[in-house]
Structure 1
Amino acid sequence: MQIFQHYIGGQFSDGATQFESLDPATGQVWALMANACEDDVNAAVQAAQGAFLSPEWAGMTATARGKLLSTLADLVAENAQRLAEIETRDTGKIIRETSAQIAYVAEYFRYFAGLADKIEGAHLPIDKPDMEVWLRREPVGVVAAVVPWNSQLFLSAVKIAPALAAGCTVVLKASEDGPAPMLEFAKIFDQVGFPKGVLNIITGGPDAGAALTRHPKVDHVAFTGGAETARHIVRNSAENLATTSLELGGKSPFIVFDDADIESAANAQVSGIFAATGQSCVAGSRLLVHASIKDEFLACLKAKAEAIVIGAPDDMATEVGPLCTMRQRETAKDLIARSLDVGAKLVTGGVALEGDGFYFPPTIIDCANAPDAPCLSNEFFGPVLSVLSFEDEAEAIEMANDTEFGLAAGVFTQNLTRAHRMINAIRSGIVWVNTYRAVSPIAPFGGYGLSGHGREGGLQALLDYTTIKTVWLRTSDDPIPDPFIMR
């Protein structure tokens, strides 16, 4: 039985209580996690605020902050395999994905390390001859970062890295579902040499999240998760007037035109919905395929789905592992049953696998006779693809935008002008053309509508952790002539 602790003010602690964490591959308890109460949350925020105001951090140059982040990047890269193994054990995400993803997470810390001393202000050509006015970008303050269990080292890095580069301090709450990799990451962070309290990592349930996001000393909340939880966070932020950045879910359209490369598009669709066992906010979960190629494309996709290797997540041969929780598996079963009741048809999959663990097979549902099926509008967070067909470009656009979400979209076509029209017409924060699920620290990531606001990655993410200070300097030595007139 492994035991994982909180990291608060540069110290490791067990927290008020502990809770058990299940191995999704077996359904058995494998570790004990510290469970944050309100006192733990308060201690973490107090540590973050103390560090933010301390001369060791507030007085550190931006270049020095960047060097610390660069050292952190090196340590993450060195420890990527160990972190990957822990994430696989605690969340069920397959080892071939966690290994590759965590190795790439180091690049996010390197990118923002390089940006730390590139934050610039501006001089204003003010309309008053005896004034110099300039703008300074300063850190917003204490950041509450709340992350889900899926891809949590990646989703944490895109918050921690820009926040620290900007000079903020952070309290990160890892999801109670699979927090082990973040609590292990704390041990790596502790080796770097940051001032104590700059980063604090805790875990716990909704009560801990509520205490953190409404805390009066929190200045910004960065959240990744579901829309309903985001609503609670926004309500909580009314207590402290914290700014928010929200990266939420999606029902992303994956659009295949009749001139697309069938094999390439099918491979991308497999990656878009079945990779990570479908547990991805950008999962291409709505396939919109041109009616003239629907049968051919579905046949190709069905063959690929049924050839996927389902197995233990720590086996490099496995392509789809278990879902992270039993709750997700039950949600998938319920949504599929309700969709079949209104006329949708199973193409493949759809039945939970027998035996230990939270396994669910790659599933394709044809919704041709059920345009209002629940599977088309609800986020599964599982390996379930819903399919509709379209007759022309205008219908494809209408169907793509028929959602409250707007995180991502994929367009597959060899027609360049059509691709540009689709890019312009689709309401989503990301549009991939003839590819899917590509990410980079250089490129912003985020969405529209119920997919949230704010961006992660790129220069814009760094600026989201800053605030503007306007400085006025009077250059005249003459006395102010009239104190009752604004000048």
Structure 2
Amino acid sequence: MREHDRLYIGGEWAAPAGSGTIDVVSPHTEEIIGRVPEAVPEDMDRAVAAAREAFDHGPWPRMAPAERAAVVARLAELYAGRLGDLAELITAEMGCPISFSQLGQTGQAQAVYGYFAELGRDFAWEEERPGLMGPVTVRREPVGVVAAIVPWNVPQFIIALKLAPALIAGCTIVIKPAPETPLDGYVLADLLTEAGVPEGVVSIVAAGRETGEHLVRHPGVDKVAFTGSTAAGRRIGAICGEQLKRCTLELGGKSAAIILDDADLAATMGWLKMASLMNNGQACVAQTRVLASRNRYDEVVDALADTVRGMKIGDPADPATEIGPLVAKRQQERVEGYIRIGQEEGAKVALGGSGRPYDRGWYVTPTVFAGVTNDMRIAREEIFGPVLSVIPYEDEADAVRIANDSEYGLAGTVWTADGDRGLEIARQVRTGTYGVNMYMIESSSPFGGYKGSGVGRELGPEGLAAYLEYKSIARMG
């Protein structure tokens, strides 16, 4: 069992202001595997004060960008040496299969640090433009103190999405991990210190929702970067709007995978099971609406059911496991509730639908629904578990219409033997990311969503721009 009695505030290990603790419970065994202090508003005040002091008077924002990039590159190097440890820790905390932890939880995070370190060395921090009265210097300056609020489903990757560009930009940052996954943040804190991040620049303070809202409202915070539910994002966006505070919101999804009639179903299913059920279905980009033409509908339903049936469910630490437990009992009950709702709405269970695969652990039987219409709740609401809905379409135009008929617009895919045809479909679907015969989040390209899936973008140069203010300096002659 891992126990910590300090909080990482401004680069130092500090005693918490309160006496509360957070128990970390294994989703596989339901046993306590860790304990950390629960931060209270006074702790957040100290973290913001440290960040404010470091931004207003410290060396970090005043370093040459190449110097900051060198520190982030060192962090990426150190992080690479802890990939295995971090992957095992995250799997223990929240139950995702170890194979996904190694790739999507830690491998992707390390790649993000490496990408932004390289971008920071070559980025155009100033440029000259012609003006009516003389030249204009356009500067890009750090936005200030950042509050980063991170969910439990992909904790290290999502921290990296915010921490890496904030550091490169010259910002200081207070990170609030979710109560379900606070342990991996302690490893990251040690790496930040070893990499040479100066005092005050980074704090990592685990806390609950109320203390998180205190951080969002704090007058010392200049920008909020949030990943989580659309409902929570609306509240954070409203607070930031009241205060005219910058914000980036990466929210929910209900993404559609369009299978065209010419698709190779065997090849498609090999990719789609990851695109749809990655992280036990607890992924905002998961392709949980599978769209199939009426010509091949039954064939697609059978192929999808057979594919999911063949996925190994079990101990997430086992490299052979493809679907593990959900993060918490409340999540297990939520997903099982949606499975009942689907049946009540008249959807047909092609696979799963009831029962639990194990008596212990927060497991849910993976479920594939057929006979789903796009107005059903299971097709409209984000379930965040291993539940897939197969929806029929009449023709390609109807498939695009159904894909776009959602309050969300985060991700999507199309599966076809004709890449050009797939690209044309991709151009018509209103989502922030899309894949043709695959799905992947690329460090060099912007990630974010349309509509209820959020505001702003992370990754790529656009992700760095989200942590910058633009200043125009005009001069005569």
**If the TM-score is normalised by the length of the shorter chain, which range does it land in?**
over 0.9
Asked whether the 8 Å contact 1:338–1:373 carries over to 2, the reply is no
Q: Does 1:191 align with 2:194?
A: yes
What corresponds to 2:132 in structure 1? 127
What corresponds to 1:484 in structure 2? none
* Separation in 2, partners of 1:14, 1:99: 32
Aligned with 1:105 (options 102, 109, 118): 109
Map 1:313-392 → 2, pairs under 5 A: 313-351=316-354, 352-368=356-372, 370-392=373-395
3-state DSSP class of the match of 2:445?
Answer: coil
Segments of 4+ moved more than 6 angstroms:
none
* Separation in 1, partners of 2:450, 2:103: 28
| Structure 1, unpaired ranges of 5+ | 476-487
Aligned with 1:441 (options 440, 443, 447): 443
Pick closer, same or farther for the CA change 1:53–1:218 going to 2, 3 Å. Answer: same
Asked whether the 8 Å contact 1:215–1:240 carries over to 2, the reply is no
TM-superposed CA distance for 1:134, in Å, is 1.3
Q: Does 1:20 align with 2:23?
A: yes
* Separation in 2, partners of 1:55, 1:337: 56
User: Which letter does structure 2 place at the counterpart of 1:2?
Assistant: R
Asked whether the 8 Å contact 1:183–1:202 carries over to 2, the reply is no
3-state DSSP class of the match of 2:385?
Answer: coil
Asked whether the 8 Å contact 1:266–1:300 carries over to 2, the reply is yes
3-state DSSP class of the match of 2:136?
Answer: strand
What corresponds to 2:2 in structure 1? 2
* Separation in 2, partners of 1:121, 1:444: 22
User: Which letter does structure 2 place at the counterpart of 1:298?
Assistant: V
TM-superposed CA distance for 1:454, in Å, is 1.0
What corresponds to 1:400 in structure 2? 403
Moved more, 309-318 or 251-260: 309-318
User: Which letter does structure 2 place at the counterpart of 1:253?
Assistant: A
3-state DSSP class of the match of 2:452?
Answer: helix
Asked whether the 8 Å contact 1:266–1:297 carries over to 2, the reply is no
3-state DSSP class of the match of 2:448?
Answer: coil
Asked whether the 8 Å contact 2:11–2:189 carries over to 1, the reply is no
TM-superposed CA distance for 1:3, in Å, is 1.5
TM-superposed CA distance for 1:367, in Å, is 3.0
3-state DSSP class of the match of 1:410?
Answer: strand
Give TM-score, length-normalised by structure 1. Answer: 0.94
* Separation in 2, partners of 1:456, 1:362: 31
Q: Does 1:54 align with 2:73?
A: no
* Separation in 2, partners of 1:424, 1:74: 37
User: Which letter does structure 1 place at the counterpart of 2:247?
Assistant: T
* Separation in 2, partners of 1:257, 1:474: 60
Aligned with 2:251 (options 248, 251, 254): 248
User: Which letter does structure 2 place at the counterpart of 1:443?
Assistant: S
* Separation in 2, partners of 1:113, 1:246: 23
Map 1:397-476 → 2, pairs under 5 A: 397-436=400-439, 438-475=440-477
TM-superposed CA distance for 1:20, in Å, is 1.1
User: Which letter does structure 1 place at the counterpart of 2:268?
Assistant: A
TM-superposed CA distance for 1:195, in Å, is 0.7
TM-superposed CA distance for 1:327, in Å, is 1.1
* Separation in 1, partners of 2:443, 2:418: 29
* Separation in 2, partners of 1:416, 1:348: 31
Asked whether the 8 Å contact 1:217–1:240 carries over to 2, the reply is no
User: Which letter does structure 2 place at the counterpart of 1:466?
Assistant: L
* Separation in 2, partners of 1:218, 1:338: 41
Pick closer, same or farther for the CA change 1:239–1:14 going to 2, 3 Å. Answer: farther
* Separation in 1, partners of 2:119, 2:418: 37
Pick closer, same or farther for the CA change 1:42–1:239 going to 2, 3 Å. Answer: farther
Moved more, 114-123 or 41-50: 114-123
Q: Which deviations, in whole Å up to 9, do the C-alpha atoms of 1:320-365 show, x marking residues without a partner?
A: 1100111111111111111211211111112233311101122101
User: Which letter does structure 1 place at the counterpart of 2:8?
Assistant: Y
* Separation in 1, partners of 2:323, 2:215: 34
Aligned with 1:73 (options 76, 88, 108): 76
* Separation in 1, partners of 2:273, 2:422: 21
User: Which letter does structure 1 place at the counterpart of 2:209?
Assistant: P
Aligned with 1:143 (options 141, 146, 151): 146
* Separation in 1, partners of 2:35, 2:239: 29
Asked whether the 8 Å contact 1:406–1:427 carries over to 2, the reply is yes
* Separation in 1, partners of 2:286, 2:33: 29
* Separation in 1, partners of 2:63, 2:149: 26
* Separation in 2, partners of 1:192, 1:123: 34
* Separation in 2, partners of 1:469, 1:390: 50
Q: Which deviations, in whole Å up to 9, do the C-alpha atoms of 1:90-146 show, x marking residues without a partner?
A: 111111111223133212111111122323322231112xx4321111000011111
* Separation in 1, partners of 2:260, 2:474: 57
3-state DSSP class of the match of 1:292?
Answer: coil
**Aligned-residue RMSD, C-alpha:** 1.4
Asked whether the 8 Å contact 1:155–1:224 carries over to 2, the reply is yes
Asked whether the 8 Å contact 1:147–1:156 carries over to 2, the reply is yes
Q: Which deviations, in whole Å up to 9, do the C-alpha atoms of 1:180-206 show, x marking residues without a partner?
A: 112321122121111111111111111
Aligned with 2:179 (options 176, 180, 185): 176
Asked whether the 8 Å contact 1:76–1:103 carries over to 2, the reply is no
What corresponds to 2:12 in structure 1? 11
Aligned with 1:157 (options 153, 160, 163): 160
Give TM-score, length-normalised by structure 2. Answer: 0.96
Aligned with 2:268 (options 265, 270, 275): 265
User: Which letter does structure 2 place at the counterpart of 1:147?
Assistant: V
TM-superposed CA distance for 1:239, in Å, is 4.8
Asked whether the 8 Å contact 2:419–2:436 carries over to 1, the reply is no
* Separation in 1, partners of 2:374, 2:430: 20
TM-superposed CA distance for 1:166, in Å, is 0.7
TM-superposed CA distance for 1:403, in Å, is 0.3
Aligned residues: 471
TM-superposed CA distance for 1:439, in Å, is 2.0
Aligned residues: percent identity? Answer: 37
Asked whether the 8 Å contact 1:344–1:367 carries over to 2, the reply is yes
Q: Which deviations, in whole Å up to 9, do the C-alpha atoms of 1:188-228 show, x marking residues without a partner?
A: 21211111111111111111110111110111111110011
Q: Which deviations, in whole Å up to 9, do the C-alpha atoms of 1:443-470 show, x marking residues without a partner?
A: 2111100000211110110111100112
Asked whether the 8 Å contact 2:292–2:393 carries over to 1, the reply is yes
Moved more, 352-361 or 380-389: 352-361
* Separation in 2, partners of 1:90, 1:223: 21
